[in-house]
C-alpha cells in the first residue's frame, strides 16, 4: 500500500480512536488535540522513510504521547507542570501491552460518556460529541445545528472547561451506574439523527450527513456496549433511515409515510433494522428505543399504508406509554386508533389531547387533527386545523406540505 | 432587653444567647457574591493574605474560592430519581439554607454524595468545584479530613 494511502487511511479510520486514548493519557482535550496533530505531522515525515508501522494507531498514540511529554518538560521551566508530567509519565506505554486495541476501544467509550455527561447541557453534549467523538469541524456542526460558528465554538470551549474544572471523570460508568448514564448517551445519538432526518427548522427536508454520523455512533456503541437499548436504538435509526429517499420528493418536498413510494425504501437497512429490533425485544429488557424500533418495523412490513397492522401499532404504543408517558406518543397512538377504528374514534382522543398545555402549540397535532377531519369529510374543520399547523411550523418543506394539503381539500 | 424573655406558652424563661454571653463561639457563613465582570477583580494574593491573617487570629474555619458558574451542576431528587442540570439552581424562590464542603475523587462522586444530602428531595443542591488560589506556598484554609 502506498504510504500516502496508509496515512489517509489512518487519518480517516484511527484519528478519533487515537484522540480518545491521548485524552486519557494526557488528561485533557486540548493537549490531546495538539498531540494528535503532531503525531500525524511526524507520521507524514517518517513513514515514507521508515515504512508504515505494523499498527498505525498504536504508533500514533505512542508518538503523540511522547511529543506531548517533551513539550510539557520544555514548558515546565516556565509553568509549574511537574505533577502533570509525572502523571503522564506514570502511565504505561500504550504501545506495549498486547491488548492495545481493546484499550483504544474502551477509550472511545470513555470519550462518549464524558461528552454526554448529564451535568453538561444537552446542546453542549451534542456539540461536544460531534466535535470530539465524530471529529466534525466546528463550522459543519454550527451549520447542522443552526447556530453561529462563534456561538458553537464558545459552547464547546465552555463544555471543555467544565469537564476540566469540575473534574468530569474520563471513564465508562460501572454496571450499577449505567442505567442512569446510558440514557443521555442514547438521547444525544437520537437527537443527532433526528436533526439530520427531520431538521427542526431551515429549508432542507433532510441532512443525510448528520444521520449517517448518528448511525456510525450507534454502530460503535453497539460494538462496545451491546445493551438491549443500544441495539434498539441502532434498529430504530436504520429503520427510519431506510425511508429517507422516499421521504423527500425530487423537488426536495416532504412526503408523508402514507404517500411514500415504498419501493424506494432501502431493503438492506430494513432487514438489518428488523433483525436488530428482534434481538433487542428477545432480551426481555425492553426500553423506549426498542419499542419505537418495533413500531418502525411494523410499518416496514406493510406493502402499503392501508395494509399496516394497526392493531399491533396501537398495542405497541400502549406499551410505550407505560414505559415513557408522553403527550406526543398519546397523539401518535390516537392516529393509529383512527386508522384501526375510523377517524371519529381518533378525533375524540385527539381533541382531548390538544387541550394539554404541551400540545397547544404543537404543529403535528393540528396536522393530525386536520387529516382525520378530512377523512371524516369535515372539510371546514380540516381547513382550520391545517391553517393552525401552518402558522406553528418553522420548517420550509413542512410548511409547503401543509399548504399543499390545504389546497387539495375539496371545496365546501 | 437583658438577653432573655419569657416563653408565652410555658412561662419558662428562655435565654437568648449571643455568641459572647457564655464565651461560646457561633459560626457564621460569609458568602462572597460577584458578577462576572468582577469575577477575577480581586487578586488571589490579597485574598490569601486576608485569610492568613484571619487564620492567625483563630477565627477562620474554612475558606475556598470557587470555579465560575459554568462549572456548576444542580442536583435534585424527586420521587427517588436523581436529576442533574447544567448550571446553578434556577428556582429564585429557593434560598440558601446550608452547605456541605466535601472531598470527592471526581464530579461523579461529588454528585452521588450531593444526591444523598436529605434536602435534595425538597430543594436543589448546587455542586461547584473549589479551585486553588494561585499563590506560591498556598495551603488550604479548610481543615483536612482525617485520612481513611
C-alpha cell of A90?
A: 506514570
For residue B80, being part of any structural domain is answered with yes
Residue where a domain terminates, one of A98, A116, A134: A98
Residue where a domain terminates, one of A56, A81, A98: A98
Residue of chain A with shortest Cα separation from B69: A162
Domain span at residue A92 reads 3-98
For residue A401, being part of any structural domain is answered with yes
Among the partner-chain residues A119, A158, A177, the one whose CB lies closest to the CB of B107 is A119
For residue A88, being part of any structural domain is answered with yes
Q: Which of A134-138, A203-207, A293-297 has the highest mean pLDDT?
A: A293-297
For residue B79, being part of any structural domain is answered with yes
Alpha-carbon torsion A143, A144, A145, A146, what sign?
positive
For residue A400, being part of any structural domain is answered with yes
- Range A236-266 burial, b when 16+ CB lie within 10 A, else e: bbbbbbbbbebbbeeeeebbeeeebeeeebb
CB contact under 8 A, A119 and B84: yes
Give ∠ CA A186-A192-A197 in degrees, rounded to 5: 120
Question: How close A120 gets to chain B, by Cα (Å)?
Answer: 5
Structurally, chain A folds into a number of domains equal to 2
The candidate with the shortest Cα–Cα distance to B71, out of A120, A31, A30, is: A120
Query: In sequence order, what are the residues at sequence separation of 6 or more whose Cβ sits closer than 8 angstroms to the Cβ of residue B121?
Result: B77, B78
Report chain A residues whose CB lies below 8 A from the CB of B111. Answer: 119
Indicate the range of A92-96, A127-131, B36-40, B79-83 predicted with least confidence. A92-96
Query: In sequence order, what are the residues at sequence separation of 6 or more whose Cβ sits closer than 8 angstroms to the Cβ of residue A10?
Result: A40, A43, A56, A57, A60
Report chain A residues whose CB lies below 8 A from the CB of B87. Answer: 121
B6 pLDDT more than 50: yes
What pLDDT score was predicted for residue B21?
Answer: 53
For residue B102, being part of any structural domain is answered with yes
A56 pLDDT more than 50: yes
For residue A131, being part of any structural domain is answered with no
Length of chain A: 412
Interatomic CA distance for residues A367 and A294, integer angstroms: 24
pTM of the model: 0.81
Residue where a domain terminates, one of A72, A98, A124: A98
**DSSP helix/strand/coil, B85:** strand
Other C-beta atoms closer than 10 Å to the C-beta of A215 total 21
> Which of B80, B85, B86, B136 to probe by mutation at the A interface, max A CB count within 10 Å?
B86
**Averaged pLDDT of chain A:** 89
A407: CATH: 1.25.40.10
Confidence class of residue B1 from pLDDT cuts 50, 70 and 90? very low
Please say whether the beta carbons of A197 and A175 come within 8 A.
no
Structurally, chain B folds into a number of domains equal to 1
What pLDDT score was predicted for residue A100?
Answer: 44
For residue B83, being part of any structural domain is answered with yes
- Greatest distance between any 2 Cα atoms in chain A: 85
CB contact under 8 A, B67 and A165: yes
Instruction: Burial-class residue A96 by CB neighbours within 10 Å (0-12, 13-18, 19+).
Output: exposed
A279 pLDDT more than 80: yes
C-alpha cell of A137?
A: 469541524
Residue with cell 381539500: A409
Interatomic CA distance for residues B70 and B45, integer angstroms: 24
Report chain A residues whose CB lies below 8 A from the CB of B71. Answer: 161-162, 165-166
For residue A395, being part of any structural domain is answered with yes
Mean pLDDT, residues B61-78 taken together = 92
Domain span at residue B102 reads 69-127
Interface predicted TM-score of the whole assembly (ipTM), two decimals: 0.73
Residue A79 half-sphere exposure toward CB, CA atoms < 13 A: 7
C-alpha cell of B97?
A: 439554607
Among the partner-chain residues B71, B86, B105, the one whose CB lies closest to the CB of A165 is B71
For residue B64, being part of any structural domain is answered with no
**DSSP helix/strand/coil, A409:** coil
Interatomic CA distance for residues A87 and A84, integer angstroms: 5
Convert the pLDDT of each residue in A150-188 to its tens digit. Answer: 999 999 999 999 999 999 999 888 888 888 889 999 999
Convert the pLDDT of each residue in A8-49 to its tens digit. Answer: 999 999 999 999 999 999 989 999 999 999 999 999 999 999
**Share above pLDDT 70 across residues of chain A, in percent, rounded to a whole number:** 91
B94 pLDDT more than 50: yes
Amino acid at each position: 500500500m502506498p504510504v500516502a494511502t496508509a496515512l489517509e487511511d489512518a487519518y480517516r479510520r484511527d484519528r478519533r480512536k487515537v484522540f480518545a486514548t491521548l485524552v486519557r493519557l494526557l488528561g485533557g482535550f486540548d493537549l490531546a488535540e495538539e498531540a494528535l496533530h503532531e503525531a500525524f505531522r511526524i507520521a507524514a515525515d517518517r513513514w515514507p522513510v521508515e515504512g508504515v508501522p505494523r499498527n498505525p494507531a498504536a504508533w500514533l498514540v505512542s508518538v503523540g504521547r511522547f511529543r506531548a511529554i517533551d513539550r510539557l518538560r520544555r514548558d515546565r521551566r516556565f509553568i509549574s507542570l511537574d505533577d502533570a508530567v509525572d502523571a503522564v509519565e506514570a502511565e504505561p506505554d500504550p504501545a506495549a501491552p498486547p491488548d492495545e486495541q481493546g484499550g483504544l476501544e474502551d477509550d472511545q467509550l470513555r470519550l462518549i460518556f464524558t461528552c454526554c455527561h448529564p451535568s453538561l447541557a444537552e446542546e453542549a453534549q451534542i456539540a461536544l460529541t460531534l466535535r470530539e467523538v465524530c471529529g466534525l469541524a466546528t463550522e459543519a456542526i454550527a451549520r447542522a445545528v443552526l447556530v453561529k460558528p462563534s456561538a458553537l465554538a464558545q459552547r464547546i470551549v465552555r463544555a471543555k472547561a467544565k469537564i476540566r474544572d469540575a473534574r468530569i471523570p474520563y471513564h465508562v460508568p460501572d454496571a450499577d451506574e449505567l442505567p442512569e448514564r446510558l440514557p443521555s448517551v442514547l438521547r444525544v445519538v437520537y437527537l443527532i439523527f433526528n436533526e439530520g432526518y427531520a431538521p427542526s427548522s431551515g429549508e432542507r427536508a433532510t441532512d443525510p450527513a448528520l444521520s449517517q454520523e448518528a448511525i456510525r455512533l450507534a454502530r460503535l456503541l453497539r460494538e462496545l456496549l451491546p445493551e438491549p437499548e443500544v441495539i434498539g436504538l441502532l434498529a430504530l435509526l436504520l429503520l427510519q433511515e431506510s425511508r429517507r429517499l422516499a421521504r423527500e420528493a425530487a423537488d426536495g418536498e416532504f412526503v408523508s409515510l402514507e404517500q411514500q413510494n415504498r419501493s424506494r425504501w432501502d431493503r438492506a437497512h430494513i432487514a438489518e433494522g428488523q433483525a436488530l429490533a428482534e434481538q433487542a425485544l428477545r432480551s426481555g429488557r425492553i426500553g423506549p428505543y426498542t419499542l419505537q424500533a418495533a413500531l418502525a418495523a411494523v410499518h416496514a412490513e406493510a406493502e402499503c399504508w392501508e395494509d399496516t397492522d394497526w392493531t399491533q401499532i396501537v398495542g405497541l404504543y400502549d406499551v410505550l406509554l407505560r414505559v415513557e408517558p408522553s403527550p406526543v406518543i398519546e397523539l401518535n397512538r390516537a392516529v393509529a386508533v383512527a386508522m384501526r377504528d375510523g377517524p371519529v374514534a381518533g378525533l375524540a382522543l385527539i381533541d382531548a389531547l390538544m387541550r394539554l398545555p404541551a400540545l397547544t402549540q404543537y404543529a403535528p397535532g393540528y396536522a393530525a387533527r386536520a387529516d382525520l377531519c378530512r377523512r371524516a369529510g369535515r372539510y371546514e374543520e380540516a381547513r382550520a386545523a391545517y391553517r393552525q399547523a401552518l402558522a406553528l411550523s418553522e420548517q420550509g418543506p413542512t410548511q409547503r406540505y401543509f399548504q399543499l394539503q390545504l389546497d387539495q381539500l375539496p371545496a365546501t | 432587653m437583658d438577653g432573655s424573655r419569657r416563653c408565652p406558652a410555658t412561662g419558662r424563661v428562655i435565654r437568648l444567647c449571643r455568641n459572647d454571653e457564655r464565651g461560646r463561639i457561633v459560626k457564621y457563613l460569609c458568602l462572597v457574591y460577584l458578577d462576572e465582570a468582577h469575577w477575577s477583580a480581586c487578586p488571589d494574593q490579597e485574598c490569601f493574605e486576608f485569610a492568613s491573617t484571619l487564620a492567625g487570629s483563630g477565627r477562620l474555619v474554612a475558606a475556598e474560592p470557587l470555579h465560575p458558574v459554568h462549572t456548576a451542576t444542580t442536583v435534585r431528587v424527586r420521587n427517588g430519581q436523581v436529576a442533574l442540570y447544567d448550571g446553578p439552581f434556577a428556582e429564585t424562590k429557593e434560598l440558601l439554607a446550608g452547605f456541605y464542603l466535601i472531598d470527592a475523587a471526581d464530579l461523579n462522586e461529588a454528585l452521588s454524595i450531593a444526591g444523598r444530602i436529605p434536602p435534595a428531595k425538597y430543594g436543589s443542591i448546587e455542586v461547584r468545584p473549589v479551585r486553588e488560589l494561585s499563590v506560591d506556598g498556598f495551603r488550604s484554609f479548610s481543615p483536612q479530613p482525617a485520612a481513611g
